[in-house]
Amino acid sequence: MAIFEHDGARLHYDVEGDGFPILVIAPGGMRSANDVWANAPWNPRTALTHRYQVIGMDQRNAGASTAPVSAADGWSTYAADQLALLDHLGIGECHVVGMCIGGPYIFGLLMSAHDRFRSAVLLQPVGIDDNRDAFIEMFDGWVDEIGPAHPEAGPDDWAAFRQNMWGGEFVLTATREQVADGETPLLVLMGDDLYHPQSTSREIASLAPRATFVERWKDDEVLAETDSTIKRFLAEHSP
């Protein structure tokens, strides 16, 4: 694992495999770290490195990455880190694959720099649908873990940060209108639980003009087809 520094953060990342680059954004909510992929039903770090250069990072204050905390932190802070990593590696264009919190992160990237992403794969993206309290509880549990290491952040800073992350609607980093206006090819693999509601995946797929939708993908009996579907999608949109 390598390290680069950006905006006061020390960010840990891995580069694995060779080929056209793919930025992968791990599940885990505020604890999104590259090693969390090992617990996912489908793991791009094992599935894709034979053909692609797979780039994954520990998000700030997750895994081995650290960063100061302020009231201004939010989705755009993370998008800036992710784009800075691509710049650091000299990558102008790539695919992006994200699971869980990776969904909003992907839409944040597409809002900031859509021209840098040939395609996006969203595995059970999080979204707001009568479940905000669950995200608030998740955030507060994370703060209980890391807060003692951040004397620079007081209660008001954490409250503002939490609101910046989880106070929005729909996919949190893009409006319905913005998703409908998007031109990036999307592969949406449906979520089906409290944090990853079916309604979010279905609405993304119905709004985005270049979306492909997969309802059933993570049961053992369909995982081989899931793997083939993702690989075909990425191959279709690779240069």
Q: Read out DSSP for 87-132?
A: HHTT---EEEEEETTHHHHHHHHHHHHGGGEEEEEEES----SS-H
Question: For residue range 52-111, what is the model confidence (pLDDT) as tens digits?
Answer: 999 999 999 999 999 999 999 999 999 999 999 999 999 999 999 999 999 999 999 999
DSSP 156-211: HHHHHHHHHHHSS-TTSSS-HHHHHH--S-EEEE---SSSS-HHHHHHHHHH-TTE
Residue labelled with tokens 């899931």: 226
Question: By the 8 A CB rule, do 39 and 137 touch?
Answer: no
How confident is the model at residue 138, as a pLDDT? 98
Above 90 in pLDDT, residue 183? yes
Above 90 in pLDDT, residue 3? yes
Above 90 in pLDDT, residue 1? no
- The mean pLDDT of the chain is 98
Q: What's at 222, amino acid-wise? A: V
Closest CA to 56 of 89, 94, 26, 92: 26
| Domain covering 2-236 in this structure, CATH number | 3.40.50.1820
Question: For residue range 202-213, what is the model confidence (pLDDT) as tens digits?
Answer: 999 999 999 999
Question: For residue range 155-182, what is the model confidence (pLDDT) as tens digits?
Answer: 999 999 999 999 999 999 999 999 999 9
Question: By the 8 A CB rule, do 85 and 7 touch?
Answer: no
* Domain residue extents for the chain: 2-236
Predicted TM-score of the model (pTM): 0.98
Q: How far apart are CA 98 and CA 103, in angstroms?
A: 6
Question: For residue range 87-100, what is the model confidence (pLDDT) as tens digits?
Answer: 999 999 999 999 99
